[in-house]
Amino acid sequence: MPEDLPVDGRLVIPAAELSERFLPSGGPGGQHANKASTRVELRFDVAASGVLSPAQRRRLRERIGDDVRVVVDDERSQARNRAIARERLAGRIRNALVVETRRRATRPTRGSQRRRLESKKQRSELKKQRRRPEF
């Protein structure tokens, strides 16, 4: 029975809005890889979600699109791949919902201006020392 997916403290995606598919994992591995469907594909439809606010839906659609899809075949175990896929999906959604604070331009402090000019003087003096002596 699939469980709800907690994204952060305020957002939990219901299991009904997640779509899981289990596929055979590619690559070498003999009989186990050919028989077991350990690859996990986890999907979340942002456009059809009822749990997102309009602002969250808009932000997710701008950043990661209408359909978020995660495919994992890192492990041999289907359960472990499923857990990894859920973690990755929650992480992608969490990162996409972060609102960056706008940078406010500030004036350089008097101390930083003084340090900058002092370092320029030191660099100039160092380069002067490297020159050929004048006679």
Lowest-confidence region among 27-36, 41-50, 89-98: 27-36
Q: Domains in the chain: how many in total?
A: 1
Per-residue pLDDT, 77: 87
Q: How far apart are CA 28 and CA 34, in angstroms?
A: 9
Print the domain residue range for 64. Answer: 5-97
Report yes or no: 43 and 67 within 8 Å, Cβ to Cβ. yes
Residue 115, in any domain of the structure? no
| pLDDT tens-place string over residues 40-89 | 999 999 988 889 899 999 999 999 999 999 999 888 888 999 999 999 99
Residue 16, in any domain of the structure? yes
Longest dimension (CA), the chain: 90
Report yes or no: 49 and 60 within 8 Å, Cβ to Cβ. no
Is pLDDT above 90 for 106?
A: yes
Q: Helix or strand or coil: residue 63?
A: helix
The number of residues making up the chain comes to 135
Residue 102, in any domain of the structure? no
Q: How far apart are CA 83 and CA 86, in angstroms?
A: 5
Residue 19, in any domain of the structure? yes
If phi > 0 it is left, if psi is from -120 to 50 it is alpha, else beta; for residue 113 that is: alpha
Per-residue pLDDT, 29: 66
Retrieve residue 32's tokens.
């186990």
Q: Helix or strand or coil: residue 90?
A: helix
Q: How far apart are CA 85 and CA 43, in angstroms?
A: 10
Is pLDDT above 70 for 19?
A: yes
Q: What is the CATH number of the domain that holds 44?
A: 3.30.160.20
Residue 46, in any domain of the structure? yes
